[in-house]
Every structure is written in structure tokens, then in C-alpha cells.
Amino acid sequence: MTAHADHYTYRVRWSAEDECFVGTVAEFPSLSWVADDQIAAFGGIRALVCDVLEDMAQSGETAPQALADKEYSGKFMVRIPPEVHRQLALEAAEQHVSLNRLIGSRLVGS
């Protein structure tokens, strides 16, 4: 699969410490771009990603898959203390729902 800079997950935020905007991309956590305005920070980080992708393609490296292009199963395992597991199971039983449904609703904030 060919990496597309437009598919990556960009974020621009204000940095009080740096007193400027910082553009980042989730799939390349070591990259960032600072600028005086949000548009420039976004343009800078996107251009940097394009350059990095070009360099990776030329050297035969595999670019990270964009989060937007990944498929997710909807399943993941979380380890919690047994007493928390017991309490959640009790709450689920009291609400007449499955433990899975209780946890899912908590994760999405419903």
C-alpha cells in the first residue's frame, strides 16, 4: 500500500512554552513543525511528511500505515485488578446488561 500524506493524522496546537503553533502527525511522532500561525504550522508539518515519505520511498523503507487506512476489529484486551473486574460485573448484572456493553458505554461516555 502506498502511503499518502493526506491520509495521516495531523494536529496543530498552541504551545505556551514555545509561544507558537506546533504541527504534529500521529504516525510520525518524532516529527513536528513550529510556526506563528495555525495554517503555516499545518502546511509545514504536511510538507515535512511529504519529504520524509519521498526519502523513505527512495531508500526502500516502508512508511507507517495511516491510522485512517487501518481496519479495526473493535476488540482489545484490558487488564484490570480483580476487585475492579468484580465491581464492574456486579454493576452490569444490576443494570441487566453484559459486562461488554457496560464497559463499551463507559468508554464512549454514554
The answer to whether the beta carbons of residues 1 and 69 sit under 8 Å apart is yes
Stretch(es) of the chain classified as CATH 3.30.160: 5-68
Q: DSSP alpha helices (H): ranges in 1-110? A: 38-59, 82-94, 99-107
Give percent of the chain above pLDDT 90.
Answer: 93
Q: Is the pLDDT of residue 72 over 80?
A: yes
The arithmetic mean of pLDDT across residues 52-81, rounded, is 94
The arithmetic mean of pLDDT across residues 3-15, rounded, is 94
The arithmetic mean of pLDDT across residues 60-81, rounded, is 93
Q: Give residue 33's region: left, alpha or beta (phi > 0; psi -120 to 50).
A: beta
Give the CATH number of domain 5-68: 3.30.160
| Residue 110, pLDDT score | 56
